[in-house]
Structure 1
Amino acid sequence: MSSSIVTKNISTEAAFTAVQAAVEKAKEIGINICVSVVDRGASEMAFLRMNKSFLPSMTIAKDKAYTAAGFGFPTMQWGEVLQGKTQLQAGIAGRPNVVTFGGGLPIFEGEDVIGAIGVSGGSEEEDILCAQAGVDAIDYVLV
């Protein structure tokens, strides 16, 4: 008897669509961002750095995507998750590549995490807005 495990992953096309949508939203609101889309294992599938975006935003965007893919929830939720948990706060803060502020969103197909998007370059609220535009564009493509 053979058994198999099927795992879902974001496609290259969907990753590219998400990056484009996030950049279009950034242009609309007048900011310059870096945006990264990773697969379910946090391997980068697509990345774009807009002209005049902050250089450190390159790695921050990648880290936001990594964090959202790895934990399966938006990076903005870390404040709530960590509240009152001193040891967890200290442990998470010391982890490389983990970001605990907004701008990273997991990407779902049904209930399965298939990837994540990370955006950096604006305020936390602007980064979330751009990341959400990327996720929304994928939802449209998957339907």
Structure 2
Amino acid sequence: MTGTHATSCISADGARVVVDAALAAAADLGVAVVVWVLDPGGNDVAMTRMDGSPLLSRQVAADKAWTAVAFGQETTWWSELLTAQPPLSALGRGNRLMPVPGGVPLVVAGAVVGGVGVSGATSEQDHAIARAAAQALTEMGNR
């Protein structure tokens, strides 16, 4: 985390750590995904599409990252909330809210510095990959 927003915004180097960890986790699972990293303002920092990942996964990964950073919650939080309160599902129509697993806020030293979204595999695999990516950044930031 370098630059003027060192404690509040993911750096390009941090985004590379996230992407590399996600790609390694996806390779371990034998799946092809898209990985999208946003800063706290929802701005693109990095995106990688693995060969063979579904075309639609590009937008889904971006929206998962946006949902995670916009609310500071894993997208599984929304999945659980919408299961408990089905009328809220209308919130997901026509905007970027992506209430399915695979989006995780990126946290360093207790601060949300961005979000990562992963799409292309099963929901469970997307979520596991996103968590592994977020964990790699947390561990880098805590060194």
What's the TM-score, normalizing by structure 1? 0.89
Corresponding residue of 1:100: 99
Q: How far apart are 1:79 and its partner, in Å?
A: 2.4
Q: Where does 1:1-143 land on structure 2 (aligned, <5 Å)?
A: 8-82=8-82, 83-84=84-85, 86=87, 88-90=88-90, 92-143=91-142
How many angstroms apart in 2 are the aligned matches of 1:68 and 1:95? 17
Q: Can you list the C-alpha shifts for 1:69-120, whole angstroms capped at 9, x where unaligned? A: 001100011122232251x322x12241110110000011233211000000
Amino acid corresponding to residue 89 of structure 1 in structure 2: S
Task: Structure 1: give runs of 5+ residues left out of the alignment.
Answer: 1-5
How many angstroms apart in 2 are the aligned matches of 1:94 and 1:81? 16
Structure whose CA Rg is larger:
1
Identity level (%): 35
How many angstroms apart in 2 are the aligned matches of 1:47 and 1:103? 15
